[in-house]
Every structure is written in C-alpha cells, then in structure tokens.
Amino acid sequence: MMKRIFELFGLTIMGVGIYFIVFEHSKNNACNASGGKFAGLGMSAQCQHVVYAYFGGFVLLAAGALVVLFGLLATHRAAKRRLSSKKPSLASQYQWVDPKTGRTPFS
C-alpha cells in the first residue's frame, strides 16, 4: 500500500513540475527576449524569479519521475518475491511420487 502512495506522490510531484513548466514558459521566453544575453549586468529580480520557477519545474519533474520509477521497481520486486516458490506448496505434500522414477502412479 505504501508503494502505491509513493507512486501517487511521485505523480503529484510530476504534475506540479509540469504546471510550473507550462505556466512559466511564456514568461521565460519574454525574459529571454528582453534581457538579451545577460549584458554582463545580470537579470532583473522578476526574471530571476521566473527562471528559478521554470528550472524548479524541471527539477520537480525529474524528482517525481525518480520517485515513480523507484515505486514501480519496489512493487515489481515485491510481486516477483511473492510469486517465487522458495517453500513448496501444501498441495505438493499430498502428491505421491515414486522415488525411483520420479513419476506419479497415474502417469
């Protein structure tokens, strides 16, 4: 259950990252067009805020993808561990097998 919660948490983080990227993209383009190539003076405070939010969106997107990936790997590993038969099933205890031939009496 916790693995699924982490997967949903990762998807939420990715959604917030995509939100920042989509809604800050036009502002980022406007700052890039008006600021030139930084002109040696740096950026205005408003453009720095936009760039930080835009970059933060990519960071959140990558972090969310990693959380989802690790959650899926943990879920896959747990399912694989659950399906592997380290212990014989109870049904196999009641099947008679000839020790010499390794076959059941009905085969």
Closest CA to 63 of 25, 2, 14: 14
- Mind listing the pLDDT tens digit for each residue in 6-52? 888 899 999 999 998 888 878 777 777 766 555 545 667 777 777 78
Q: Please tell me the predicted confidence (pLDDT) of residue 61.
A: 93
Q: How many CA atoms lie within 13 A of 9 on its CB side?
A: 11
- Mind listing the pLDDT tens digit for each residue in 48-98? 777 788 888 899 999 999 999 988 888 877 777 766 656 666 665 666 677
Helices 45-83/2-35 angle, 10° precision = 150
Is the whole-model pTM more than 0.85?
no
Alpha helices (H) along 1-107? 2-35, 45-83, 90-93
